Structure 1
Amino acid sequence: MSYSPRHGQILDLLTKEGTMGVNDLARHLDVSVETVRRDVKALAGRGEIVRMHGAIALPSVVNEAPFERRMRENREAKETIARLAAATIRDGESVMLDTGTTTSLLARALLDHRQLTVVTNSSDIARTLATVNGNKVYMAGGELRSDSGSALGFSAIEFISRFSVDHAIISAGAVNAVTGIMDYDLEEAQFGNAVLARGRRRVVVTDASKFGQKGLVRVCALTDVDELIVDRPPPADLADVLRQAEIRVTSDA
């Protein structure tokens, strides 16, 4: 089957997004689903893409660790959030970060900062900020999870309880007007709650895809947060609740 210029567009989209469904591809390319299916068949036949669980991906993505795969999702939005959050932190200050793709990108955005004191349970964040620019990095101990390289559980929470920092920053799986800040893992939610309790400034960083989601486990009430840093403003109903809770919302818009 001959090569179509659209094949290049599909490969470019997968490079950016990681994985995509056929319907999403059709919408992005403004063609029919059947047309995309023919393109997918051709690309898969040449080994340029892999079909899996109702979606398609580049072969390199299939072999990625779960955390690295999540780092690719909504990457542009997360990098925007990381840039905004980094701008609120000054050289010489202390910051506590939980594990998460957005907080990992925030660590990268802090590479130009100097003399930071960083407390985290994330091996990725610790590796990023340790041994550079005079930083001090303290990492919570315990068994590292294979999917995220994070330490969780009682020992990790007990460790961070010894610190009091300028900025306590966590990521979130959901931000809901009724249920508050939510996540999908009990231990991660417990750790996030403990992080917020240690900061003079309590911040949640999350992209707009989390607005209105319900999550599974409650991290904290909205009133337990001082600031929300996002890529774009929340919808009106959530914005009203955040305003009533006197939570500052910082976005790129």
Structure 2
Amino acid sequence: MSKHERWNALLELLAADGRVDVEDAAGTLEVSPATIRRDLDELAAQQMLVRTRGGAIAHGVSYELPLRYKSSRHASEKQRIASAVAELIGEGEVVGLNGGTTTTEVARALALRAGSARRDTPDANAPVLTVVTNALNIAGELAVRPQIKIVVTGGVARPQTYELVGPLTVGVLNEVVLDVAVLGVDGIDPELGVMTHQEDEASISRLFAERAQRVILVTDSSKMGKRAFARICGLDSIDVVVTDSSVPADVAEGLAEAGIKVVAV
């Protein structure tokens, strides 16, 4: 197992349990405790965890894994969710995408769909879709797709999620109108609404929702009933939630009672 693979595994353990024990991790990864200690020291130096006696803990209750370490979590569910969302997007629409692993999968699904679309317009080079995003990784993937017009907001980049935030981001979003906003989130609570870990990202996601005619939430069922630090908006701003088939029945019923269409795949 390479160092990168060990780091990924350690961060996955940390995200799941909130703490890592050196001896337990060494047994799980089948390496020596000394190797785990060195890995934890290096991850702590990068401020990705806090070292403790005998292990490490997350930074806090709002601990956020960098995007590159979250991409493998619930991967199959996110791909199914992305395919379902792509079916909800019409040709020629303007789509807003915030950052995150699920919205990244949505971007890939939209690119595949756009690439196979049959054009009814005389201009075969006209874009099938327009995507507005504040996520640098999504912009990078879609920029090489001639069927998609990509609009990237300005702003200050957050290294954990590759999202652009701040006044420059707000300035661009205030000048566009979206047909649909597809938002990845970190928590959905029946009382508090939709949430994410970072307040600056929450304000940008809120603006995406305000600029759109309809709003689609994309999240795996592990986020259902969970809370995070920063509120994006209430459930009354959401039109559709696309999630996986493991969503609890009572949660799905509660969303439906709030007037939200629930698509479980």
Query: 1:14 deviation in Å?
Result: 9.7
Q: Deviations over 1:31-69 (max 9, x none)?
A: xxxx977844743379799864658xxxxxxxxx92210
Q: Which residue does 1:94 correspond to in 2?
A: 94
Unaligned runs of 5+ in 1: 1-6, 25-34, 56-64
Quick one: distance in 1 between partners of 2:211 and 2:154? Answer: 17
Residue by residue over 1:142-163, the C-alpha shift from the partner in whole angstroms, topping out at 9 and shown as x without a partner, is 2222222221012212211211
Number of residues of Structure 1 aligned to a counterpart in Structure 2:
226
Two-structure CA RMSD over aligned residues (Å): 3.3
Alpha-carbon deviation of 1:81? 1.2
Distance across 1 between alignment mates of 2:136 and 2:247 = 31
| Alignment-derived partner of residue 122 in structure 2 | none
Gaps of 5+ in 2: 18-22, 41-50, 57-64, 115-127
Given that residues 218 and 242 in structure 2 are in contact (C-alpha distance below 8 angstroms), is that contact kept between their aligned partners in structure 1? yes
The structure-2 alpha-carbon separation of the partners of 1:178 and 1:48, relative to structure 1 and needing over 3 Å to count, comes to closer
Partner of residue 185 from structure 2, selected from 169, 172, 182: 172
Return closer, same or farther for 1:13/1:87 CA change in 2, 3 Å cut-off. Answer: farther
Distance 1:241 1:146 in 2: 35
In structure 2, C-alpha distance between the alignment counterparts of 1:109 and 1:125, rounded to whole Å: 12
User: What is the alpha-carbon distance in structure 2 between the residues aligned to residue 129 and residue 41 of structure 1?
Assistant: 36
The residue number in structure 1 matching 2:256 is 243
Q: Are residues 111 and 17 of structure 1, via their aligned partners in 2, closer, same or farther at CA, if it must alter by over 3 Å?
A: farther
- Matching residue within 163, 174, 195 for 1:150: 163
**Aligned residue for 1:74?**
74
- Aligned identity (percent) is 28
User: 2:12 maps to which residue?
Assistant: 19
8 Å contact kept, 1:99–1:171: yes
- Opposite residue 260 of structure 2, the aligned amino acid is I
Q: Is the 8 A contact 1:17 1:74 kept in 2?
A: no
Structure-2 separation of matches of 1:44 and 1:98: 40
The corresponding residue for 1:4 is none
Distance 1:224 1:175, change over 3 A: same
Q: Does 1:226 align with 2:243?
A: no
Residue number in structure 1 paired with 2:154? 141
Matched, 1:209 2:200: no
Q: Is the 8 A contact 1:95 1:117 kept in 2?
A: yes
What amino acid maps onto 1:198 in structure 2? R
Residues 45-60 of structure 1 aligned to structure 2 (within 5 Å): 52=40, 54=55
For residues 26 and 165 of structure 2, the distance between their equivalents in structure 1, rounded to whole angstroms, comes to 45
Equivalent in the alignment of 2:134: 121
Residue identity opposite 1:187 in structure 2: D
The SS at the match of 1:110 is: helix
Give the match's secondary structure for 2:165.
Answer: coil
Please give the alpha-carbon distance, in whole angstroms, between the structure 2 residues aligned to 1:150 and 1:84: 24
- Which residue in the other structure is 1:27 paired with? none
- Indicate if the aligned counterparts of 1:44 and 1:50 stay in contact, CA closer than 8 A: no
Task: Note the C-alpha offset of 1:169.
Answer: 0.8
| Distance across 2 between alignment mates of 1:142 and 1:14 | 30
Paired residue secondary structure (1:96): strand
